Structure 1
């Protein structure tokens, strides 16, 4: 179990400071914002920049997801194969790769779209992809908070609760 708490490479972030969770904020934020922009194209008439903004947010999210995937892949190497945590990590990775692929397709589908409301197809694809991202995020939470992957061990954590002004009982 201790093996999954330590990075296999400094490229994944140092002990107690994994890089993967920090990098996932980019695709999550951009893809949520892109769906908000998509919906706004249908609710706010005369706002052609919103559809273009949504497309570029999707593209930025794909780039961010690929960076997060590289760091996550390094974390996967630290998990012992054949364990429940490893199976959870594989499911997390597979869903995230599928979501990233769907967003890459969505980005391509929007190329050359005329200004105006985002068509129903790309809008629905964004909503479904975001739902998949939520499932993958839940599994990522299981990895960190239930199984403690790349989380500092309890001895290290306890040091943060030691009060310098009192004797440690």
Structure 2
């Protein structure tokens, strides 16, 4: 099922989600490095900026994701998509709180680190649900080969 939010037949949401996923995982890595670093404040700042970039990237990915969600007709898949969306919105909220906690102080460890670990764990579940929609239900997958693809085969 081709999704309505696409560019030249390629779904936009899966292209954009790599940005927040990568930045948030890198943010967690920077937090862990800060725990053992000689310059923990620097790594904490790197984690903060990666986190904020991930928030911006997630909000950009959410728009085409919502367009795709609204186009779903199958109730079971729509339920999975709603859970996926709810998890993602919760993850964004956790990172907003996390960034707010770090705004004035270079937090190293403690609650900000715990929030990052929790959010990345939730991201794994959300990603699994996203993969379930693509690989099991064919969301964003075009079943018919495109003319250009046939020429190159």
Q: Fold-level match, TM-score > 0.5? A: yes
| Secondary structure in 2 matching 1:156 | coil
* Separation (CA, whole Å) in 2 of partners of 1:29 and 1:67: 14
Q: Which residue of 1 aligns with 2:15?
A: 22
Deviation of 1:156 after TM superposition, in Å, equals 1.8
In structure 2, the CA distance between the partners of 1:134 and 1:15, relative to structure 1 (3 Å rule), is: same
Deviation beyond 3 Å, 4+ runs, structure 1: 157-164
- Aligned partner of 2:140 in structure 1 is 150
Question: How many residues were matched structurally?
Answer: 153
Larger Cα Rg: Structure 1 or Structure 2?
A: 1
Q: Which residue of 2 aligns with 1:5?
A: 2
The structure carrying a bigger helix percent of its residues is: 2
Aligned to 1:72: 65
Query: Which runs of 5 or more residues in structure 1 are unaligned?
Result: 165-169
Residue among 18, 33, 37 paired with 2:30? 37
Alpha-carbon shift at residue 119 of structure 1 (Å)? 3.1
Tell me the C-alpha RMSD between the 2 structures: 1.9
What whole-Å deviation, never above 9, does each CA across 1:67-112 have from its counterpart, x for those lacking one?
A: 101110010111016x111101000000000001100110001011
CA distance, structure 1, for counterparts of residue 146 and residue 36 of structure 2:
48
> 1:15: Cα distance to partner?
5.8
Secondary structure at 1:77 match in 2: helix
Distance in 1, matches of 2:112 and 2:19, equals 20
Say if 2:94 is the partner of 1:109: no
What is the Cα deviation at residue 157 of structure 1?
A: 6.3
